[in-house]
Structure 1
């Protein structure tokens, strides 16, 4: 027995003094930042609180509680260890007006606040090994009532015995005989821990001997608090699919969606009740049995004087009310989690997630994600009914274009489906989405927004003798159009003429500068979008346009902490100017006209007095429908098509644009404020030939331009009467102009 004891002692030391558990990586959303004037509605804030499982009460006095009425929310924010440091609990009062957070105050003293942030949403746990899942809690994080209840029911003499308690066995026997059923067990918590850590579940005498022997060794070597903390994290408390739920930390989220420290007396009692048999007392499948066991725990606490009569009666009357099974976070955002895993693998290698207990702070915005999912589901449903095509699919990518962060990702018409992720993996022809890149290249090579572009029939012949005759969508030719109008109206023939005039090599080079990494074939049809990209790759390309030629790679990760809470990674944005900011600005300005009076004018009508930029895209035979749009903060790429590449019957305007419009219904619009680079001036250009001209002499359009590149303004003496348009003017205006010229 002495030799066997040495063997068991070695096993105990190896487990207790090494890494006890392989803890999963925790993935959090972005923390919601709060400041007066923020684009955040009353309903959106309520949804955030619901995702965080804050409890609605009349008067929030504890962390995790809130009250709401008449566009005002008082919330007692939980303490949290953010990536940049811990913050204590904080009472905040929020007042909303329309789509905006109007005012913030300290809820206790009424002092106005300029900034605060909510704790992030726990999205998921990655790399769950050995069919076990847990959230590690320290003893000081556990509510005293839970410890008291656990010891009262499971091991009353825990702090007195030496690992095994003969007295507890006798007492349990008496209690069970009086009750007529098994109410208490005779095994100590230390014995249960030894069994869970080292032994099987068989009921042999030999297993019980080993269990008792190891319990004595554990009790001799380690403090009671160390043993209790290990038990609290090791005990089996339920089953979530194929993974077991271990420890009270995770069980609290599994059953109630709450941190352990926020459980009420009735919830604490249910947690302790489940120790006896999580399956037998499952509150979803066996609610009556679970409530009976919970009430027994409450009665024992009351009889021992650990809770008063009022608390006992209130807790006994409370319904069980567990959250929806599995709603802890698994499967909530499968498309985004796919992106996160891919980025972790690319940045840190395939073995990174094998580390225990890391915390990943992502860029996912739950409000944006909810709006994106709702937009895709609702609009695809409507489009399926209209087109009678039940196999329509969709994808959406939302990014914060100023930070280069992915805010939301939807991989299919069913956002909860964890299969094929179209946002990342479906490469399709992008159609007219390529045009801003073509026009930006031209603007960087001597063209202006007013440059006249030919809109006449054109025939191109390849080296192999193939003939290509591009046409406009409406089958009409206008002879000549201004560059800005060709972009706004998404005219094909002027775009081809423009691209051929600057050279295909410059178009290809500009696409690569914007962030397209795959090989690009330099065919004339490239100008009309034969290039195949995923919605994510399109978002990356447009991110550079949104930043006026400043390239920064998209990311889904903000920061990572190790198991001890130390920061091991912090995203540091890196940006490279890949295009002249003047050309980037002018291209972006042209995209605002797409929304104002071009192919995306639906948005201007739906959201009047708002400035947005965007571009529609449609591929041959109406197979793919695209839209890329941005306001002052977010860049959204939406796609609708069919997995078999079949015809949708939709254009960019009638398909993907409507998904974006539905997104904005929920999310709201921040009017785009363009930053004008130095050297850009407002210039009057002649409508006839796009040359800077005097507006008193001829019809002109006022457009931004890089003034240093212009050769000068054509004055009235350089024009013929017909060029001046005098025969189209009233005689009085003509005489007045002559008088002005003479002066």
Structure 2
């Protein structure tokens, strides 16, 4: 809970008085939630108390002591999708801009804004006199409306003709639009910073960029600094020129107290405060090219083109920031554990999905989560090895086989139509005579699996894979049952989803809903599921997959993550090229792959590679 609040830039305080604050006292967390336009409707700011028992939320009460069944926090802004013009902004409607901000801006930039008709002859004459006396440009005579006209329609060229055009357009704009609407446009258009190659436009995004908080939560000194920066974003850049920025901010504060916008106590407190800027990379740290890549694909596949073309969309996703952070940590640190001294050149990928709703919660495509190139989680098609075996055993359980059905574990030789021979072996090169169907699965024995696959029919196994969500064209070769099929980590996650949902199929997606800038619901994901397998057969399968983690190939989880109930399946491919593990608890399905980009041997089994990353994730997630 506290981690989530910190990610949302809620501020820890002793006493909660306003939105965006929280306090912790013993087992109670008090939160003052910000207002937000959720897809299901607007919810105003609200203060609640959440009582925890054994680290679980036991009760939620509002400020009148009434029990609440549910309570929603405002969502984290993960990223902003913008055009090739690389202008980045977060739109803030006029009614959500603090009065103090507007009054301070007008005080410093255009005192007669509400009284002129787009241009101010007096301001132009005054600026001319000041500049003439100085011998160079000291003061501008442009109104805010003229500045907006220049920003929207004109270049930065300094000429009388451009000034004339600017004034003419400003008069037309003032005639056509209300003063409040023009001021709203100006405050959402004004340039305030450069974030790498992307410009930061508008006070909404600038407030996040400089202070990591929404504009309606800015303190007095922060409002003064933003207004100061408007005068010259480069010249008064508080990160590059802090002394210059503070001097200009303090001038704004002095003007505020002299004009009665703030009192003397507010002034003394504000002027003594340091800049207190957020981390410079705060905006960029949330971005993850892996899930943005998936978001673009899902937009193309699921959302009508008529909606995709609309500007200002709010796209609500299932991404869990805590799960995402834990997955990124698990991949990076897990690979370091597996690949000491980086001698193997290993890479990894992880896909986290919600077991109940088939929603993507986190996605990692490699060691460097900011790398925007090849997306291993979506596009790295690799042989899946023993991960295919649950499909074989599920086919058998659906056909009436029992967990104690005996399977032959003896040397076999198979021939295809051209006379080619195939002699499968178990990983330990041993034969056990006969084993139960259950033991063959949790010990991941190859030979009994081949026998079972031939008995139930390869065509039936292939049909089961299609019902699980596999879309690849699959050939009916006996080696199929040992994992000759190639899938990406995301496709594997989809394949295991019905197994974790009692046999129900639902496509694994990330977009929950899309709203317009005016909060009109435009798209919502369907909740429909299809029952594709018998719940009884799936229950027997998942019970056996639990034994994989206690008595089988993933039994090291009993000491790596003691006290946790997991089910899962390891996967290892020929020559130890690919290491796989799919594990799940009562909440999440975690699909993990470890290998090399050059497709050389990783020298790892599923249990010595991918399983370690899974263990790292679960350790982080359950801290």
Q: Counterparts of 1:343-422 in structure 2 under 5 Å?
A: 343-348=298-303, 352-385=307-340, 388-422=342-376
Q: In structure 2, what is the equivalent of residue 264 of structure 1?
A: 219
- TM normalised by structure 1 equals 0.80
Rounded to whole Å, the distance in 1 between the matches of 2:86 and 2:285 is 14
Q: CA deviation at 1:433?
A: 0.5
Q: In structure 1, what is the equivalent of residue 74 of structure 2?
A: 119
CA contact (8 A) 1:99 1:668 kept: no
Number of aligned residue pairs: give it: 623
Q: In structure 2, what is the equivalent of residue 141 of structure 1?
A: 96
Q: Counterparts of 1:324-723 in structure 2 under 5 Å?
A: 324-329=279-284, 332-348=287-303, 352-385=307-340, 388-668=342-622
Q: Do residues 311 (structure 1) and 266 (structure 2) align? A: yes
| Residue 62 (structure 1) aligned to one of 18, 21, 45 | 18
Cα-to-partner distance string for 1:537-568 (whole Å, 9 max, x where unaligned): 11111001112321111111100112221101
Q: In structure 2, what is the equivalent of residue 214 of structure 1?
A: 169
Q: CA deviation at 1:631?
A: 0.9
Q: Residue 179 and residue 251 in structure 1: after superposition, are their counterparts in 2 closer, same or farther (change >3 A)?
A: farther
Cα-to-partner distance string for 1:331-360 (whole Å, 9 max, x where unaligned): 622111111110101123567533111111
Question: Which ranges in structure 2 are unaligned for 5 or more consecutive residues?
Answer: none
Q: CA deviation at 1:177?
A: 10
Partner SS state of residue 572, structure 1: coil
Partner SS state of residue 125, structure 1: coil
CA contact (8 A) 2:561 2:615 kept: no
Q: Residue 267 and residue 183 in structure 1: after superposition, are their counterparts in 2 closer, same or farther (change >3 A)?
A: farther
Q: In structure 2, what is the equivalent of residue 192 of structure 1?
A: 147
Rounded to whole Å, the distance in 2 between the matches of 1:97 and 1:413 is 37
Rounded to whole Å, the distance in 2 between the matches of 1:152 and 1:256 is 23
Rounded to whole Å, the distance in 2 between the matches of 1:235 and 1:444 is 64
Q: Which segment drifts farther, 193-202 or 549-558?
A: 193-202
Rounded to whole Å, the distance in 2 between the matches of 1:179 and 1:406 is 62
CA contact (8 A) 1:124 1:330 kept: no
CA contact (8 A) 2:344 2:602 kept: no
Q: Do residues 93 (structure 1) and 58 (structure 2) align? A: no
Q: In structure 2, what is the equivalent of residue 79 of structure 1?
A: 35
Q: Do residues 46 (structure 1) and 2 (structure 2) align? A: yes
Q: In structure 2, what is the equivalent of residue 163 of structure 1?
A: 118
Q: CA deviation at 1:626?
A: 0.5
Rounded to whole Å, the distance in 1 between the matches of 2:332 and 2:102 is 45
Cα-to-partner distance string for 1:619-673 (whole Å, 9 max, x where unaligned): 111111111111111111001000111111211111111111111112129xxxx
Q: Residue 417 and residue 344 in structure 1: after superposition, are their counterparts in 2 closer, same or farther (change >3 A)?
A: same
Cα-to-partner distance string for 1:156-181 (whole Å, 9 max, x where unaligned): 11112222223334555788899999
Cα-to-partner distance string for 1:377-417 (whole Å, 9 max, x where unaligned): 1111111107x535100000010121111111011122221
Partner SS state of residue 370, structure 2: coil
Cα-to-partner distance string for 1:481-535 (whole Å, 9 max, x where unaligned): 1110111111111111111111111111111111111100111111111110111
Q: In structure 2, what is the equivalent of residue 243 of structure 1?
A: 198
- TM normalised by structure 2 equals 0.95
Rounded to whole Å, the distance in 1 between the matches of 2:234 and 2:358 is 46
CA contact (8 A) 1:127 1:353 kept: no
CA contact (8 A) 1:618 1:651 kept: yes
Q: CA deviation at 1:117?
A: 1.3
Partner SS state of residue 124, structure 1: coil
Partner SS state of residue 148, structure 1: helix
Q: CA deviation at 1:578?
A: 1.6
Rounded to whole Å, the distance in 1 between the matches of 2:211 and 2:103 is 20
CA contact (8 A) 1:154 1:185 kept: no
Q: Which segment drifts farther, 430-439 or 608-617?
A: 608-617
Q: Residue 488 and residue 160 in structure 1: after superposition, are their counterparts in 2 closer, same or farther (change >3 A)?
A: same
Q: Residue 109 and residue 395 in structure 1: after superposition, are their counterparts in 2 closer, same or farther (change >3 A)?
A: same
Q: Residue 332 and residue 226 in structure 1: after superposition, are their counterparts in 2 closer, same or farther (change >3 A)?
A: closer
Rounded to whole Å, the distance in 1 between the matches of 2:206 and 2:267 is 23
Q: In structure 2, what is the equivalent of residue 205 of structure 1?
A: 160
Rounded to whole Å, the distance in 2 between the matches of 1:244 and 1:516 is 42
| Residue 292 (structure 1) aligned to one of 247, 252, 264 | 247
Partner SS state of residue 95, structure 1: strand
Rounded to whole Å, the distance in 1 between the matches of 2:518 and 2:355 is 33
CA contact (8 A) 1:199 1:207 kept: yes
Q: Which segment drifts farther, 214-223 or 457-466?
A: 214-223
Q: Residue 221 and residue 563 in structure 1: after superposition, are their counterparts in 2 closer, same or farther (change >3 A)?
A: same
Partner SS state of residue 328, structure 1: helix
CA contact (8 A) 1:83 1:559 kept: yes
Q: Residue 474 and residue 97 in structure 1: after superposition, are their counterparts in 2 closer, same or farther (change >3 A)?
A: farther
Rounded to whole Å, the distance in 2 between the matches of 1:131 and 1:493 is 57
Cα-to-partner distance string for 1:192-213 (whole Å, 9 max, x where unaligned): 1222222211111111122222
Cα-to-partner distance string for 1:316-375 (whole Å, 9 max, x where unaligned): 121212222342257622111111110101123567533111111111011111111111
Q: Do residues 275 (structure 1) and 230 (structure 2) align? A: yes
